[in-house]
């Protein structure tokens, strides 16, 4: 038996009124957050992982935080791998607001894997799941996305949204390689934080990296670089014969002190003991053994 | 129980550290064709840690992420006894004794084998990250990898420790709803064969001599078993019977021992008559000249005032001139809130209670930045910052002068003609008005008498020098041009003390009158009390180009207070001495003790070379004591250094005779047996001369400063021992 057509399940005007009220309510009770879409540069179709991702844009959109008494999840935990924060949050965003905020982009809906930056708590969340059918067709329409998010597990992805408060995540957490440099004589240009640099290794092969910071009070000047990218298939170390050229500033420098894993400047990671192990084990491990049958010629 | 002695080889800590080193340099990257991006080293840490340390450095207001991946961690999972590698527990390891004596060794029993289970965990989000880490680890272990670790079985030991990879397991929680996180963990289980060493028995004596008697049981039937005192060796042995099997006393073990005499007495130096007490007699009253160069700047803080409107909370600090009480500058320490521009703030708390300090608010913050609305941005001082005796009264400094050498007041009571006392030094304190508030003795000097007086001149008290110099004084008059003069004026009355030519100029003739205008030498200054007087000089001689060579004064050379007034606070008069009474002196004769505390070894000697210079020859370190007070020291270690008496006793007594006495003047005799009191070493004398003996049959090396006693009762102190090559 067909549906009784004498009872309306929502006229166009009623649907619009309902959506207007939802949008207005979220505007009143919501928070401004930054929606940061993930650009997948390459992916692995065998192990089904992304190989390289980048976050290069952001959209300000209001969302309602469904959690009223703090974040869900397990909170701050000390585990095998050090401090881990397992905050979860559920956000509501009106479909119309989302479309308005992202107009001009090719985003049609919030996507799993994208990031949401919550300025309120300075938290960078990753979108785990988008529930698109709640509330369930009350007036035969759907006006909301319900976003289940969890704090982002950072893997040295490039974050270049142009907003310092978001881009700082990369500066703080990206694995850092520190080298000592001397600017090429006769040039006045200095490296700029965030610019891409081209590194020419001793064997004339090249790689690229990003400037995360520098300390000009040191001698030689300490330059902090992000993770390295090479295109010839072999991983080189930044040794004293290497040169570094900035793509934006045009600054050029030669490396005087290569990357050093025994130094605490190697990484800002508070839970990395690599340098401590390296330093103390010069006293513990015996390197004096030799081959009783003679050492082979080099 | 057990050994009762503390020991700790840090075996597990070393194993943990070495385990971390195996995996602390693993690099991974993301491969896409020939392109490798995100090249990074994988962080590793020992998992267990103090909770508060992991949390206390967290920036609670910083950007938050869940965790940085990939990363590795490891921890100990088990410690079990290893029955498969047990060795005889009575095995011992012998090493050189801690005291490096040829007679002792360190001994340690067999270490105990244990297996330590270690678990290495790899946490990643990207499957290939984890696989890259895993595949760089696994090939190294087949299934073990051996590392040589130092010192876990005692100092200097090297122990091969196998690290065995037992297997790899992993956990990948990719199934389930979309809200749950995927955790990708690889777990590598290792077994490490370690050894725990027991305590080290330090400096155990070596068995030096063993005598054995062997019983002949073949004749038991006829007589009781009897000791056989000799055995004959048939091959590769000395021809005679061997009666002593082992003797570890090596005839080459010859020691040479340096000896010293200690506690050599000294007597015969006349009393020094040092000052031990002083009191101020006169000259302590205020004289500002003594402190005029001091810094009188002071500050007041936490000043609050009453607003003419509704502003509250502002606090100020003021820099004041402690002399006049003028407020020279005001700064703000708390900007407060609710102030409005142009309102006034009246500070009426002490010391501004009689004359209030009034400030005017010039501009405020609007509340859009970090500062609250109405917080004071800029302000100015309106009134109340002039000279203020209440403010000046808050500044009460104590100025100190130290190391001030005194002069005797001649013909004071008990002053000895020709011997007035020398070298006494005192320290004084002054208040801001220049009054002397205290005088203390720093050095008592010598040759003083009780009730005698000493004094400090005004310059030592802080007043500036009694003359002042003026250069570049341009002259007018005469036939030439360009002559400039230099003057020295008396700082007390402004009269001319000396005159010279600064620039000769040219074209002058003898007899010219040159005039230095009065304003160049301090005349015409504000408040002058006498008519302005120029200085006029006569050119006495010239050179071939007419340059002035010498001049003499004609007029204006007499005293003129204006010249002095122009240097107010620098050259005003009068000068005042501080006179002190000597209330007590020390007249005890010096008879002290020479103590040797350094290297080298010779008897102390003295040589009276002249009537005025006593020299002591002693190549070592010396102290000259009077009771417990150190009168002089010598730290020169050069052999046979002749110390001029005046070098190390600066008290000026240079005509006295010295007597050294010691009872330890008996030498050891050849062949005498000597015994130490610390090392229990016993030896016999081979040679003995000049504070040096050579011994052999030494049981144990003597140590520095130990006393050794001979059979004859002679006692000497060991300076050092030298093992004969």
What pLDDT, in 10s, does the model give residues A6-50?
Answer: 887 778 888 899 999 999 999 999 999 999 999 998 888 898 988
Contacts of A274 in chain B (CB under 8 A): 20, 24-25, 41, 43-44
pLDDT at A25: 94
Q: Measured between CB atoms, does B187 come within 8 Å of chain A?
A: no
Portion 126-185 of B in contact with A at CB < 8 A = 126-129, 147-151, 158, 177-179, 181
The rounded mean pLDDT for chain A is 86
Cβ neighbours of residue B63 closer than 8 Å, sequence gap 6 or more: A122, A123, A124, A165, A168, A169, A172
Contacts of A79 in chain B (CB under 8 A): 47
Per the model's pLDDT, the better-predicted residue between B721 and A122 turns out to be: A122
C-beta atoms of B24 and A278 within 8 A: yes
The C-alpha atoms of residue B103 and residue B591 are separated, in whole angstroms, by 45
Nearest CA in chain A to B17: A277
DSSP B11: H
* Residue in B21, B51, B67 closest to A81 by CB: B67
pLDDT at B598: 33
Nearest CA in chain A to B15: A284
Reported as a pLDDT band with limits 50, 70 and 90, residue A290 is low
Positions of chain B with pLDDT lower than 70, given as ranges? 1-3, 208-253, 260-272, 464-466, 468, 491-492, 522-532, 561-574, 588-666, 680-681, 689-691, 699, 723-725
Contacts of A233 in chain B (CB under 8 A): 33-36
Please spell the DSSP secondary structure of B544-579, one letter per residue: TTS-EEEEEEEES-S--HHHHHTTTTTS-S----EE
Q: What ipTM does this complex have?
A: 0.89
Backbone angles phi, psi at B209, to 5 degrees: -145, 130
Nearest CA in chain B to A75: B66
C-beta atoms of B71 and A84 within 8 A: no
The C-alpha atoms of residue B668 and residue B686 are separated, in whole angstroms, by 10
C-beta atoms of B39 and A44 within 8 A: no
Contacts of B171 in chain A (CB under 8 A): none
Check residue A122 and give left, alpha or beta (phi > 0: left; psi -120 to 50: alpha). left
Number of residues written out for chain B: 725
Cβ neighbours of residue A141 closer than 8 Å, sequence gap 6 or more: A10, A15, A18, A19
Residue B142: CB atoms within 10 A of its CB come to 9
Contacts of A235 in chain B (CB under 8 A): 27, 29, 36, 39
Burial of B252 (0-12, 13-18, 19+ CB in 10 A): exposed
Whole-model pTM: value is 0.52
Q: Measured between CB atoms, does A289 come within 8 Å of chain B?
A: yes
Token pair 């007086």: residue:
B453
* Residue in B17, B34, B55 closest to A231 by CB: B34
Q: Which of A209-218, A254-263, B418-427, B618-627 has the lowest average pLDDT?
A: B618-627
pLDDT at B612: 35
**Token pair of B212 as six digits:** 């054995």
DSSP A185: T
pLDDT at B185: 94
* Residue in A52, A81, A82 closest to B30 by CB: A52
Distance from CA of A282 to the nearest CA of B (A): 10
Contacts of B54 in chain A (CB under 8 A): 78, 82-83, 270-271
Rounded to 10°, the helix A274-284/B11-22 angle is 120
Decide: B261 and B622 in contact? Cβ < 8 Å.
no
Q: Which among A249, A33, A269 is positioned nearest to A161, based on CA atoms?
A: A33
The C-alpha atoms of residue B372 and residue B339 are separated, in whole angstroms, by 10
| Residue from A66, A78, A153 to probe the interface with B (highest B Cβ count within 10 Å) | A153
Token pair 């990074």: residue:
B40
Q: What is the H or E stretch that residue B407 is in? A: strand B407-408
pLDDT at B631: 52
Contacts of A48 in chain B (CB under 8 A): 127
Backbone angles phi, psi at B202, to 5 degrees: -90, 145
Angle (nearest 5°) at CA A26 between A24 and A32: 120
Angle (nearest 5°) at CA A87 between A84 and A90: 160
* Residue in A153, A207, A233 closest to B66 by CB: A153
Token pair 């100990």: residue:
B76
**Token pair of A291 as six digits:** 């081959």
């Amino acid at each position: 038996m067909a549906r009784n057509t004498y009872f309306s399940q929502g006229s166009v005007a009623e649907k619009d009124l309902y959506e207007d009220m939802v949008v207005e309510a979220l505007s009143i009770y919501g928070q401004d957050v930054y929606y940061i879409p993930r650009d997948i540069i390459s992916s692995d179709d065998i192990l089904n992982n992304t190989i390289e991702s980048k976050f290069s844009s952001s959209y300000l959109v209001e969302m309602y935080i469904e959690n009223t008494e703090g974040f869900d999840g397990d909170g701050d935990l000390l585990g095998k791998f050090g401090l881990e924060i397992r905050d979860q949050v559920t956000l509501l965003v009106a479909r119309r607001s989302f479309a308005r905020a992202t107009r001009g982009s090719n985003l049609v809906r919030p996507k799993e894997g994208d990031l949401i930056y919550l300025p309120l708590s300075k938290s960078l969340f990753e979108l785990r799941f988008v529930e698109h059918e709640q509330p369930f067709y009350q007036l035969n329409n759907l006006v909301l996305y319900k976003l289940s998010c969890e704090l982002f597990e950072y893997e040295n992805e490039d974050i270049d949204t142009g907003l310092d408060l978001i881009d700082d995540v990369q500066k703080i957490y990206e694995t850092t390689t520190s080298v000592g440099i001397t600017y090429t004589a006769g040039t006045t240009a200095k490296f700029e934080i965030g610019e891409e640099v081209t590194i020419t290794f001793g064997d004339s092969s090249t790689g690229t990296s990003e400037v995360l910071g520098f300390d000009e009070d040191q001698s030689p000047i300490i330059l902090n670089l992000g993770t390295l990218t090479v295109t010839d298939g072999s991983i080189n170390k930044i040794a004293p014969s290497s040169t570094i050229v900035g793509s934006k500033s045009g600054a050029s420098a030669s490396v005087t002190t290569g990357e050093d894993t025994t130094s605490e400047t190697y990484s800002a990671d508070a839970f990395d003991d690599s340098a401590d192990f390296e330093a103390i084990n010069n006293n513990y491990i015996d390197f004096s053994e030799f081959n009783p049958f003679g050492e082979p010629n080099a | 129980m057990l050994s009762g002695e503390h020991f700790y080889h840090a075996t597990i800590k070393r194993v943990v550290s070495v385990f971390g080193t195996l995996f602390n340099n693993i690099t991974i990257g993301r491969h896409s064709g020939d392109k490798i991006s995100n090249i990074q080293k994988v962080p590793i840490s020992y998992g267990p840690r103090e909770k508060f340390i992991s949390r206390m450095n967290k920036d609670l207001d910083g950007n938050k992420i869940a965790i940085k991946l990939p990363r590795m961690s490891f921890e100990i999972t088990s410690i079990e006894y290893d029955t498969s590698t047990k060795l005889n527990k009575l095995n011992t390891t012998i090493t050189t004794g801690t005291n490096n004596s040829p007679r002792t060794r360190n001994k340690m029993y067999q270490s105990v084998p244990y297996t330590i289970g270690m678990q290495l965990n790899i946490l990643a989000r990207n499957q290939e990250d984890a696989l890259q880490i895993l595949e760089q680890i696994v090939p190294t272990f087949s299934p073990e990898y051996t590392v040589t670790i130092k010192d876990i079985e005692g100092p200097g030991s090297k122990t091969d420790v196998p690290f065995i990879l037992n297997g790899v397991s992993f956990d990948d929680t990719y199934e389930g709803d979309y809200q749950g996180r995927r955790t990708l963990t690889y777990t590598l289980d290792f077994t490490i064969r370690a050894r725990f060493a027991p305590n080290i028995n330090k400096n155990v004596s070596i068995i030096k001599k063993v005598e054995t008697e062997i019983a002949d049981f073949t004749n038991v039937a006829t007589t009781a078993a009897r000791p056989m005192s000799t055995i004959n060796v048939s091959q590769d042995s000395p021809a005679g019977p061997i009666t002593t099997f082992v003797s570890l006393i090596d005839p080459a073990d010859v020691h040479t021992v340096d000896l010293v005499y200690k506690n050599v007495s000294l007597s015969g130096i006349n009393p020094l008559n040092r000052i031990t007490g002083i009191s101020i007699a006169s000259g302590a009253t205020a004289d500002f000249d003594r402190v005029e160069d001091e810094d009188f700047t002071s500050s007041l803080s936490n000043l609050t005032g009453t607003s003419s409107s509704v502003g509250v909370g502002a606090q100020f600090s003021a820099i004041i001139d402690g002399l006049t009480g003028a407020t020279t500058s005001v700064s703000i320490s708390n900007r407060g809130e609710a102030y409005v521009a142009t309102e006034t703030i009246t500070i009426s708390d002490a010391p501004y209670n009689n004359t209030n300090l009034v400030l005017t608010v010039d501009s405020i913050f609007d509340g859009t930045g970090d500062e609250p609305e109405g917080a004071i941005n800029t302000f100015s001082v309106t009134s109340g910052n002039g000279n203020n005796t209440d403010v000046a009264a808050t500044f009460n400094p104590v100025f100190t002068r130290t190391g001030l050498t005194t002069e005797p007041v001649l013909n004071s009571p008990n002053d000895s003609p020709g011997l007035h006392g020398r070298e006494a030094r005192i320290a004084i304190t002054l208040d801001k008005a220049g009054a002397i508030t205290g005088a203390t003795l720093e050095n008592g000097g010598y040759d003083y008498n009780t009730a005698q007086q000493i004094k400090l001149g005004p310059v030592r008290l802080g007043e500036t020098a009694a003359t002042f110099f003026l250069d570049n004084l341009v002259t007018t008059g005469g036939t030439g041009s360009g002559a400039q003069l230099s003057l020295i004026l008396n700082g007390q009355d402004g009269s001319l003390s000396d005159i010279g030519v600064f620039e000769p100029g040219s074209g002058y003739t003898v007899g010219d009158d040159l005039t230095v205008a009065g304003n160049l030498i301090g005349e015409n200054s504000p408040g002058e009390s006498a008519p302005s007087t120029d200085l006029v000089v006569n050119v006495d001689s010239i050179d071939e180009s007419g340059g002035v060579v010498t001049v003499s004064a004609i007029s204006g050379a007499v005293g003129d207070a204006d010249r002095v007034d122009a240097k107010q606070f620098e050259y005003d008069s009068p000068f005042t001495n501080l006179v002190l009474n000597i209330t007590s002196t020390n007249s005890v004769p010096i008879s002290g003790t020479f103590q040797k505390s350094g290297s080298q070894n010779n008897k102390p000697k003295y040589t009276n070379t002249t009537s005025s210079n006593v020299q002591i020859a002693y190549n070592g370190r010396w102290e000259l004591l009077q009771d417990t007070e150190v009168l002089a020291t010598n730290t020169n270690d050069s052999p046979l250094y002749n110390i001029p008496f005046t070098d190390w006793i600066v008290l000026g007594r240079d005509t006295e005779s010295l007597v050294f006495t010691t009872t330890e003047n008996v030498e050891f005799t050849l062949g005498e047996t000597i015994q130490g009191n610390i090392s229990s070493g016993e030896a016999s004398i081979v040679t003995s001369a000049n504070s040096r003996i050579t011994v052999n049959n030494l049981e144990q090396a003597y140590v520095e400063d130990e006393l050794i006693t001979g059979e004859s009762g002679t006692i000497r102190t060991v300076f050092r021992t030298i093992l004969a090559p």
